[in-house]
Amino acid sequence: MNYRTIVIAALASATLGGLAAESVVTAASAAPQAALVQQETNAARPLNMAAKVLFLDEASTLPSRGANGTIMVSGRRLLEAIGYRVDWDASAGSLAAGRPGKPALLLQAGRREAKFGDKTVQLPAAPYLGEGVLWVPLRSVAEAAGLTVTWDAANGYAHVKDPKALPRITLTTRADNRVIERPANLIAYFKSQMGLDVNPNLVPPDYYREKTNVMIAAGEPGDLILLQNHYQYSDELLSSFALDLTEELNAFPRLKALAAEAAGGRTINDRSYGIARPRDPHDAPFPAIRQDWLDKLGLAQPRTMEEVYAVLRQFTDLDPDGNGKNDTYGMTGYATAAGLGSFAWVEQAFTGSPARFAVLNGRVVDHALGAGETEALRWLARAYREGLIDKEFAVLGPEQAAERIRGSRAGLAALSLRDAAALTGGKEEWIPLSGLKADSLRAPIAPWNTEATDTYIVTRLSRVAPKTILQWLDSGLAMNETGAWDGIEGFGPADRAAVRSLFGEPDLLRSEALKSVPERARGAYETAVKEWQQTSDADVVVPAFSGLWSTGKYAELNAELKDMQIKVILGELSIEEWEQYTKTLAASEAYQAMMAELAAIQGDGA
């Protein structure tokens, strides 16, 4: 078994016999403190400490105790973990351990003398039996096995390492492509070509934020972790678990630029803590349409909202799936706690903004209270009233809406390019719309990611030099930019999917999703992406605004607005009542406080 790193975290209780936990940490790092010697004159009465072990891909608990200022651990568990075969002689109270290429070890309960190979050595504390375990001195035994032991007094960690092992980077990132299979060939490439043992933890997007928050709260974030919408963490919280990378980034211009990126970099008091994972800003849900349904009905792709409306009517009435039943909708989708969810593109078509809050001429504007929003709600209410929208959209969740799409119940839905591509195959052909606009007089709209770009941080608990991690990340990103990863032979689908998850997809035209689209539809996808790339909303969308919602602030205020929007669409509230509601809302104290806070965020240059 190849041993990499055992990290033992001594977690003492707040006080041990009147001694602070810090005293225990200091004592274990060097010569015993007098207080500890007095407290532990008998090795049979050890200080009880828990120890945390990170070994290869596993995290487990290794019991540890203190004896006269020496950390004692289970001899069997330690030695077996590093590849020794252990034999226990109960009558003699001795433990013998052997491993090819390493010195044989012989330790005996109650005796400070031990045999390490052909040498007899004096141990700092005698091994002893307790609870059926032979407790042995950690440093002495580990170093006899050819390992190194260092002590991190600040964090209370003893590090037992194999000096011949490759530096090991444990990281967590989001697999937007939902491929979480272990990329064995990619990991082998990191070892052979980059001299690093990289252990990627690929997590599906469905519960990524919750998963990473649990890891951080548990103190197990690994060395490198991708944060989804880093604005959900206050400056104080984020700096408590993320390293300040300001100085290290000077050696990596590419990473320094990504750290300064407004959408994904994170700075605190002009210090760099986060590095944006590259992402095409147009990688966001946008209406895609069933081209095979259009072809069957002899329809052209719609370009204006009235043309969309006419297509939805025929998708609803003319049995486009050919099953002889009246069971299709023009479009389906779902609402979210934050707003209209899958139907937000309708708002965008009429307001011209992909985000509810935007900055125009240096001022924060709330499009939800403007004339464009009223137009959008009028359009949606009409479509719902005439049966062109899934009647149950208001109570659907993402998976339920996805089931309807997969089941050919709707001909139009808001989908990412990746999801549209995954649905295209066989007889079904989903094509992203391009050139879509409210009417012939207004500008076309395009998908735009309104949240903060995902952000990599190096954690404070990392046991790898930040420079080593940054060098690996910089090299991987450089290969991604040039397309060098595509030329690596021997990579399978899991390896190529992991490359995208680790280093991002800065250009949809080079995305794996587009490459997976059948040849017959690829040209339409490329045309849509090229048209989208002519539109930028970077100057009006402020990703930092999303931090206000992630804290739950003004949740009640905005939940009420969303409920009123739904009521208008369902026909339970008239447009006139909506307009009166928005006037009352705009005059309220809570609303004005919210707008003032957004203006302050914008004023800070976020």
Residue 515 confidence (pLDDT): 87
Residue 50 confidence (pLDDT): 45
Q: Report d(CA 267, CA 254) in Å as an integer.
A: 16
pLDDT tens, position by position, 316-362: 999 999 999 999 999 999 998 888 999 999 999 999 999 999 999 99
Residue 154 confidence (pLDDT): 63
Residue 19 pairs with which residues in a beta bridge?
A: 16
Instruction: Please state the three-class secondary structure of 398-440 as a single string.
Output: HHHHHHHHHCCCEEEEEECHHHHHHHCECCECEEECCCCECCC
Q: How large is the average pLDDT for residues 126-136? A: 92
How many H-runs (helices) and E-runs (strands) does the chain carry?
22, 29
Choice between 524 and 1, residue whose per-residue pLDDT is larger:
524
Average pLDDT, the chain: 87
Contact status, residue 70 vs residue 30, Cβ threshold 8 Å: no
Residue 391 confidence (pLDDT): 94
Residue 27 scores a pLDDT above 70: no
CA nearest 455: which of 262, 200, 187?
A: 262
From residue 521, give the alpha-carbon distance in Å to each of 24, 356, 514, 516, 529.
66, 33, 10, 10, 13
Q: Report d(CA 448, CA 464) in Å as an integer.
A: 36
Q: How large is the average pLDDT for residues 176-196? A: 95
Residue 111 scores a pLDDT above 90: yes
| Residue 207 DSSP code | G
Among 57-66, 116-125, 155-164, the range scoring the smallest mean pLDDT is 57-66
Q: Please identify which residue in the block is written with the tokens 């209410």.
A: 381
Residue 548 confidence (pLDDT): 77
Q: Report d(CA 2, CA 514) in Å as an integer.
A: 40
The two structure tokens encoding residue 387: 């049966």
From residue 329, give the alpha-carbon distance in Å to each of 312, 313, 386, 433.
7, 8, 11, 18
Residue 304 has phi, psi (to 5 degrees) of -115, 165
Q: Report d(CA 56, CA 65) in Å as an integer.
A: 23
Residue 83 confidence (pLDDT): 83
Residue 32 confidence (pLDDT): 28
Q: How large is the average pLDDT for residues 199-211? A: 94
Residue 159 confidence (pLDDT): 74
Whole-model pTM?
Answer: 0.75
Quick one: angle between helices 589-603 and 555-570, nearest 10?
Answer: 110
Q: Given pLDDT bands bounded at 50, 70 and 90, which one contains residue 263? A: confident
> How many other C-beta atoms lie within 10 A of the C-beta of residue 115?
17
pLDDT tens, position by position, 452-502: 889 999 999 888 899 999 999 999 999 999 999 999 999 999 999 999 999
What H or E segment, with its residue span, contains residue 203? strand 197-203
The two structure tokens encoding residue 125: 């504390």
> How many other C-beta atoms lie within 10 A of the C-beta of residue 387?
15
pLDDT tens, position by position, 493-529: 999 999 999 999 999 998 888 988 999 999 999 999 9
Residue 30 confidence (pLDDT): 29
Residue 217 scores a pLDDT above 70: yes
Contact status, residue 393 vs residue 333, Cβ threshold 8 Å: yes
Contacts by 292-297 with C-beta closer than 8 Å and gap 24+?
292/427, 292/428, 292/429, 293/320, 293/321, 293/411, 296/320, 296/322
Q: How large is the average pLDDT for residues 251-264? A: 90
Choice between 231 and 226, residue whose per-residue pLDDT is larger:
226
Q: Given pLDDT bands bounded at 50, 70 and 90, which one contains residue 155? A: low
Residue 537 scores a pLDDT above 80: yes
Q: How large is the average pLDDT for residues 258-269? A: 87
Q: How large is the average pLDDT for residues 79-108? A: 92
* CB neighbour list of residue 346: distance below 8 Å, 6 or more residues apart: 305, 340, 376, 379, 380
Residue 62 confidence (pLDDT): 64
Reported as half-sphere exposure (CB side, CA atoms, 13 A), residue 7 has a value of: 18
Q: How large is the average pLDDT for residues 575-582? A: 98
Strand-pair category, 224-227 with 168-174: parallel
